[in-house]
């Protein structure tokens, strides 16, 4: 967790000031530890190292990540203060946190390269192993989300398919009239396809505007909240990516296009007398 990332989890106060020439005796603790120790913002606590060495630090910030592995064990201070208390040099640290890009895969050659750049004696541990319980919880949530989205797409597609099919069936009399007037098959298909796709396109456009608008409102105002003790977050997060918005629309549009083709093929096979009698 970087210095700037921690600011997103502050519930009171500020981060330690690391911009000054000398280190500051400041500390940021979690809300969990603050409640357990009965301390507040502005109070002072005495910390000590194994050597032992003691130092009084002022609480300048309180954070809360809702992750028990972090909130119960970590406090944050100036690295220069830690180096001073442990008699470390300015180049000595207790460990490294390596952030990979989204498209980078932690392969063995990459791990070997990273260790050679740092220290071959160090052990490289992925975050998924260090916080296994949290990642297992995320895997369950991801699976539930995929199932929920699949059901939503199934229900939405079924409803739209039924609506479009019924609309086409109700136009059997119109098809018969067009054939009596001498219209070709391709002309009848073009008229039916235009009317159906027009309704479908308008519905998808309005639906996307409503859905994206609600997501933008949630992303900005965060009006849909969650129970942090259960979901590790205070509000419903919004993930926006063009693939997430494009693929469901293409799937529904392609499915409805196939249904339209089958329905028009069925109408084309109907006898002219039957189509006129239905009117």
pLDDT, tens only, 223-242: 888 887 777 778 888 888 88
CA-to-CA dists, residue 144 to 51, 186, 237, 276, angstroms: 49, 45, 16, 50
pLDDT, tens only, 22-75: 888 999 999 999 999 899 999 999 988 777 788 899 999 999 988 887 888 889
- The DSSP line for 203-247 is HHHHHHHHHHHHHHHHHHH--SB--HHHHSSSB------HHHHHH
CA-to-CA dists, residue 21 to 24, 61, 78, 80, 202, angstroms: 9, 21, 12, 10, 62
Please provide the average confidence, as pLDDT, over all residues in the chain: 80
**Region of poorest pLDDT, from 5-19, 105-119, 185-199, 209-223:** 105-119
Please tell me the predicted confidence (pLDDT) of residue 57: 93
Parse the chain into domains and list their residue ranges. 3-93, 132-277
Going by C-alpha positions, the residue among 144, 137, 143 that lies closest to residue 69 is 137
For 166, the enclosing helix (H) or strand (E) is helix 132-169
Tell me the β-bridge partners of 46: 56
Tell which CATH architecture fits domain 3-93.
Beta Barrel (2.40)
pLDDT, tens only, 47-60: 887 777 888 999 99
Question: Is 115 within 8 Å of 122 (Cβ atoms)?
Answer: yes
The proportion of the chain whose per-residue pLDDT surpasses 70, expressed as a percent, equals: 86
Please tell me the predicted confidence (pLDDT) of residue 79: 87
CA-to-CA dists, residue 202 to 194, 206, 230, angstroms: 12, 6, 40
Please tell me the predicted confidence (pLDDT) of residue 273: 45
Tell me the β-bridge partners of 48: 54
């Amino acid at each position: 967790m970087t210095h700037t990332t921690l600011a997103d989890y502050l519930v009171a106060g500020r981060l330690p000031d690391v911009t000054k020439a000398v280190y500051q005796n400041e500390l940021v603790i979690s809300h969990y530890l603050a409640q357990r120790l009965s301390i507040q913002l502005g109070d002072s606590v005495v910390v000590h190292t194994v050597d032992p060495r003691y130092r009084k630090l002022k609480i300048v910030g309180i954070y809360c990540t809702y992750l028990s592995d972090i909130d119960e064990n970590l406090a944050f201070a100036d690295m220069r203060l830690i180096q001073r208390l442990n008699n470390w040099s300015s180049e000595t640290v207790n460990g490294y946190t390596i952030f990979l890009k989204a498209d980078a895969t932690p392969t063995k050659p990459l791990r070997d390269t990273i260790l050679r750049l740092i220290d071959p004696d160090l052990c490289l541990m992925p975050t998924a192993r260090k916080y296994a319980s949290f990642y297992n919880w995320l895997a369950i949530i991801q699976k539930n989300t995929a199932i929920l989205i699949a059901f939503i797409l199934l229900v939405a597609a079924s409803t739209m398919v039924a609506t479009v099919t019924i609309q086409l069936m109700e136009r059997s009399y119109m098809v018969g009239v067009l054939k009596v007037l001498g219209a070709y098959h391709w002309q009848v298909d073009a008229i039916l396809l235009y009317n159906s796709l027009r309704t479908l396109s308008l519905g998808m456009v309005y639906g996307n505007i409503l859905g994206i608008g609600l997501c933008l409102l949630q992303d900005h105002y965060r009006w849909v909240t969650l129970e942090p003790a259960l979901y590790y977050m205070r509000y419903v997060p919004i993930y926006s990516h063009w693939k997430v918005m494009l693929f469901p629309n293409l799937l529904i549009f392609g499915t409805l296009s196939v249904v339209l083709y089958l329905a028009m093929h069925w109408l084309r096979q109907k006898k002219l007398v039957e189509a006129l009698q239905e009117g």
